[in-house]
Amino acid sequence: MTSDRFEKLEAIAGKLPAIIELFKLEPKRLDNFVLRAGPLRADFSKQAISEHARDQLLHLAKDCQLEDWRKRFFDGEKINTTEDRAVLHPALRGVGGDKSVQKQVSDMRKKLRGFAEKIRKTGTFKSIVHIGIGGSDLGPRLVADGLAASTKNTLNLRFAENVDGASINDALSGLDPKSTLVIVVSKSFTTQETRMNAEAAREWLTKKLGKKAGANFIAVTANREGAEKFGVAADHIFDFWDWVGGRYSVWSAVGLSLQIAYGPDAFDAFLDGAAAMDTHFRDAPLDRNLPVMMALTGIWNRNVLGYSSVAVIPYARRLRKLSAFLQQLEMESNGKSKTRLGEDAGLTCPIIWGDEGTNGQHAFFQWLHQGTPGAPVDFVAVLKDHENRPEHHKALLANCFAQSEALMIGKSQMIVEEEMMAAGISKQDREILAPQKTFAGNRPSTTITLDELTPSALGHLIALYEHKVFVQGVIWGVNSFDQWGVQLGKVLATSILKELGGGKGDHDPSTEALIGLISPSA
């Protein structure tokens, strides 16, 4: 994809007034740029984008056959072409897919519900250790935190993901194997980190429970054979399917620990929330379509204004894992440099980063306000106080709203100088200090608010970002559903691991020297 198609947009951007001026020039700006879907309200009006520019972006989306791609996606066509797979995560929430897919999903939902209810009722297990990494970890962790806002969890839910021994040690520490259910989640069941952690957990169970350990050991996978070979009992394996990408899998059996900990009703409400976002994305006109608008403003910021990153700042402690989750969702999906046709894709996925507000304000917000070039921000806030701390909650929201305003309006050098003059600061000092205390402003942001942090709202939010990624992938022309870029490092790590045990390898001098630091021949 060449950048020519962005030239027209660049010309429009070059003539745009400041965002704050756009509010005066466009009296319907709020109507046009604030979109709603269920409990979610997204305010794009603080983006550096005019109504005319928005219209041109909508044309671009149409030119890229977005509506056609969207149909093919929901119809279950094999749009993951490099792996020859359909991409049907909406079917996990009951939207899209053919009859056989729908049946597979509803049978599995029944099975999971039954299993979760049984475990909750018998009360044998006090703790769950969820083992998995990447998509088999980040979604469940984010959702576990998010569900806690409105739903009680009576179990001790722990996660182990990293191959660093500290990860599984911390997860198992202080637990009684007898009352611990280990759930190993891996789509491929070949992931090194997960297999090693699963082996460690199995050993820990077996030491105390002997042959009965298998009763406390569950696998969730798309590779049933692999799990059986690993030694998991056939009736302790929950399947999902190759048409569910790892980073899109929290809606499947991958969410089993959540169902057990928070209950199947909360999990169903989470799925229903996502389904509502699916139908909104499928049916709403493009200019009122939340994922589409979110994607298009992202394209504008990346390909037209040239920003190379996006900060995601949830002003909600219980969403603090959102940016880590989105790093995989967005960067593993669209962090590509070639199109589906093998051509150069141009600028694609920006860096996604962030941390919870208000913490970030005392860390990297200096850079957001005055650093070069700064980054567009997604502010995410929850309107309802779930913590019975109304004063804290007001302060949290006040900070959130203030930051987006400050980024947009800035503070001119003239005002800074006037304030200094009034404070009796000399002209010489003013000349040195005023530029450093000035805020350029005109820094774009979107503010997404959730009425409440219910399971449904959480489902809406995650599905919103999933579909945003889909739209951007279509516009960049990349396959958002493979991840070849993770392979090379995995292959090299496997051969280096052998060399650390005494094998011989062939590497560059720097890598040889690193291996030499700990290999037996050193």
Active site residues: 332, 362, 490
DSSP for 70-132, please give it: HHHHHHT---BTTTTB---GGGGGT-SS-HHHHHHHHHHHHHHHHHHHHHHHH---SEEEEE-
The yes or no reply on residue 191 touching ligand F6P (CB under 6 A) is yes
53: nearest Cα among 347, 306, 297: 297
Q: Among 32, 179, 188, 399, which residue interacts with ligand F6P (rule: CB under 6 A)?
A: 188
Q: Helix %, strand %, coil % for the chain, to 5?
A: 60, 10, 30
Q: Among 22, 53, 133, 324, which residue interacts with ligand F6P (rule: CB under 6 A)?
A: 133
Span of 24-32, 127-135, 211-219, 416-424 interacting with ligand F6P by CB under 6 A: 127-135
Tell me the C-alpha distance between 395 and 99, whole Å: 49
Distance of CA 484 to the CA centre of its chain: 19
Of 424 and 489, CB closest to ligand F6P:
489
Amino acid 132 reads G
Of 445 and 483, CB closest to ligand F6P:
483
Tell me the C-alpha distance between 150 and 387, whole Å: 9
User: What phi and psi, each to the nearest 5 degrees, are found at residue 149?
Assistant: -65, -35
The yes or no reply on residue 134 touching ligand F6P (CB under 6 A) is yes
Of 327 and 483, CB closest to ligand F6P:
483
Mask for 223-262, x = binds ligand F6P (CB under 6 A): -----------------------xx---------------
Span of 161-169, 181-189, 233-241, 269-277 interacting with ligand F6P by CB under 6 A: 181-189
Minimum CB separation of residue 150 from ligand F6P in Å reads 27
Tell me the C-alpha distance between 14 and 21, whole Å: 15
Which DSSP symbol is given to 411?
B
Indicate if the alpha-carbon torsion angle 438, 442, 443, 447 is positive or negative. positive
Of 191 and 289, CB closest to ligand F6P:
191
The yes or no reply on residue 162 touching ligand F6P (CB under 6 A) is no
Could you tell me the two tokens for 317?
Answer: 């402690």
Minimum CB separation of residue 169 from ligand F6P in Å reads 20
Q: Which of residues 40-99 bind ligand F6P (CB under 6 A)?
A: none
Indicate if the alpha-carbon torsion angle 45, 49, 54, 55 is positive or negative. positive
DSSP for 422-489, please give it: HTT--HHHHHHHHHHH-B-----EEEEEESS--HHHHHHHHHHHHHHHHHHHHHHT--TT--GGGHHH
Minimum CB separation of residue 201 from ligand F6P in Å reads 15
Of 486 and 492, CB closest to ligand F6P:
486
The yes or no reply on residue 198 touching ligand F6P (CB under 6 A) is no
Of 187 and 460, CB closest to ligand F6P:
187
The yes or no reply on residue 483 touching ligand F6P (CB under 6 A) is yes
Minimum CB separation of residue 112 from ligand F6P in Å reads 17
Span of 66-74, 133-141, 357-365, 441-449 interacting with ligand F6P by CB under 6 A: 133-141
Span of 134-142, 286-294, 461-469, 507-515 interacting with ligand F6P by CB under 6 A: 134-142
Of 163 and 351, CB closest to ligand F6P:
163
Tell me the C-alpha distance between 196 and 205, whole Å: 14
Q: Among 383, 486, 493, 500, which residue interacts with ligand F6P (rule: CB under 6 A)?
A: 486
Minimum CB separation of residue 332 from ligand F6P in Å reads 6
Tell me the C-alpha distance between 201 and 222, whole Å: 21
Q: Cβ contacts of residue 480 below 8 Å, gap of 6+?
A: 333, 334, 469, 470, 472, 473
Tell me the C-alpha distance between 335 and 39, whole Å: 30
Binding interface with ligand F6P (CB under 6 A): 133-136, 186-188, 191, 194, 246-247, 332, 483, 486
